[in-house]
Structure 1
Amino acid sequence: MAFEKQKAELSPAQKAERSISKQFRRKLWSPFVSAIKEYQLIQPNDKIAVCISGGKDSMLLAKMMQMLKRYSDFPFELIYLVMDPGYNAANRKRIEENAARLEIPLTIFETDIFAVADTMEHSPCYICARMRRGHLYNKAKELGCNKIALGHHFSDVIETTVMSMFYASQMQAMLPKLHSQNFPGMTLIRPLYKIHEDDIIAWMRANELQFIQCACRFTERNAVSENEIFESKRKEVKEIIRRLKRDNPGIEKSIFHSIHSVRIETFPGYKADGKMHSFLEKFDADSESFDEK
């Protein structure tokens, strides 16, 4: 009886945390901690801007980073950073209400990115994405951060890898962390790297949470946008992977493991540091021989 009373008195934030550490421990908390350790995403005394877009991925990221800080053996700082690029009132309110419900203290700053991108005749979605990333880095650096954390997850990694092969004619993956080229001293980290999107959705539904989707003015007004074309390709890849899983349930793990064990000597060409290379560069000089595959 006392247990039931204690359970009933849990706040929405406590329930969300409890579900992460109990019900979804194997699917959310364990892979989250595993990614941070394996890829060395957080070091002592880091100051990390956890970037919140208002969607399910970034909100879960913020809550788990908050929990990690509480349980961590070493000190690091967190700022829960929200950039308002020109959200409508309803979306801005939804972000603030969800953060309050999950007890995440937001630092919000405003920009006019949606308005600027909306005036662009060509590639407004690409320009918007570039501007958003630049503003986030800028604000994080201004606040004394040395890292920004984004909510890209396992499914993003797999889909990006397949999409690059199918639609960009290249093999390109998504790294769990990388140095910023334009903001020296800043590092981008992806702590959800090992977490499946389906498990994030399951956690969201279990906690009866509703998050914003795409909040862009351009896609609100236009029937077919650049972003929608991109998302249609992503949906197509999701469906391909879903069909492949019916015959091979481990297909996603295979794709994920393949980007961790690339045999570069078997590729006729590759690009490194912005320069194209051919297997012929080493072919004649190589004394080793490889079995034909």
Structure 2
Amino acid sequence: MQNRRTKLVFKQLRNANLNYNLIENDDRIAVGISGGKDSLVMLYLLQLLKKYTPLDFTLHPILLDLGWNIDASLMVDFCHSQGTTLHIERTNIGEVVFNYRQEKNPCALCSHLRRGALNRTAKLLGCNKLALGHHADDVVTTLFISMLFEGHYNVFKPSTYLDRVGLTVIRPMIYISERDIQLLSQSQNIPVIDKSCPADGNTKRDEVNSLLDEIENRFPGARQKLVNSIENVNQQSFWHKEQD
């Protein structure tokens, strides 16, 4: 592992794994692949985790085709270069969301359907865990969405067991910034595919990301401090209503 940036980003993933015991020996881990930089960098880093730690686990990348007939040849080749075989699951999720349901705010429905398809496919492949490529910026964005639009403090966990499915969802990149992922992707020539969505640029998540960019420009390091605050919650600072 010669590249300094690779070492830095790998250390962040390894620390997340150590802090939250995300990956254990004999795990069969489905890796959600979107074709974007986040999921492919995650697969790359998880292969490094296999190589440079004593952990013994297997990786099974899954790409959901939402019905847009994407050219997945670059993804197939990249997964092969990482010693894995890409499983492509064909779905009609895009048609359901944008043509049949015609949702004004399609992200929630699309996310729900994609999660279901990923969970089912992971189980069919005999996996006990599903790795998703959420990074540190996603953590902060999700937190702000819950506070600004829903009026409560909520953010996804590094590891969540889905008892209905019998599957554990893990997020190994929660300590890694989107900027570091972008730079690592470029330095290692990791390919990406065009996965443009009709809703791109018009979602609550896009609005909140723009707001957080402004905060980051004014207060450099703000996103990282917000991530740190999630791990350093003072329970006594929360308001608790007295029960009647």
TM-score by length of 1: 0.74
Aligned to 2:173: 192
- What's the secondary structure of 1:32's corresponding residue? helix
Following superposition, which runs of at least 4 residues in structure 1 exceed 4 angstroms of deviation? 100-104
Aligned to 1:46: 27
Q: Give the partner amino acid of 2:37.
A: K
Alpha-carbon distance in 1 for matches of 2:149, 2:9: 31
Structure 2: stretches of 5+ with no match in the other structure: none
Q: Name whichever of 124-133 and 97-106 sits farther off.
A: 97-106
Aligned to 1:244: 218
- 1:42 and 1:207, CA in 2 relative to 1: closer, same or farther beyond 3 A? closer
Aligned to 1:160: 142
Q: How far did 1:102 drift?
A: 5.6
How large is the Cα RMSD of the aligned pairs?
2.4
- What's the secondary structure of 2:203's corresponding residue? helix
| Equivalent in 230, 234, 243 of residue 204 of structure 2 | 230
Whether 2:112 is the aligned partner of 1:130: answer: yes
Aligned to 1:261: 232
Alpha-carbon distance in 2 for matches of 1:115, 1:57: 25
| Equivalent in 161, 165, 169 of residue 179 of structure 1 | 161
Deviations 1:19-60 (A, max 9, x none): xx5221443111011111111001111111011111100001
Q: Give the partner amino acid of 2:49.
A: L
CA contact (8 A) 1:179 1:187 kept: yes
Q: How far did 1:159 drift?
A: 2.1
Higher relative contact order (CA 8 A, sep 6+): 2
Query: Which structure has the greater CA radius of gyration?
Result: 1
Q: How far did 1:235 drift?
A: 2.8
- 1:227 and 1:114, CA in 2 relative to 1: closer, same or farther beyond 3 A? farther
Identity %, equivalent residues = 30
Deviations 1:63-119 (A, max 9, x none): 1112222333132121112121223344x3443354456665312221121122221
TM-score by length of 2: 0.87
Aligned to 1:110: 90
Deviations 1:252-284 (A, max 9, x none): 332112111222233224xxxxxxxx2x249xx
Q: Name whichever of 231-240 and 60-69 sits farther off.
A: 231-240
Structure 1: stretches of 5+ with no match in the other structure: 1-17, 220-224, 270-277, 283-293
Alpha-carbon distance in 1 for matches of 2:123, 2:211: 36
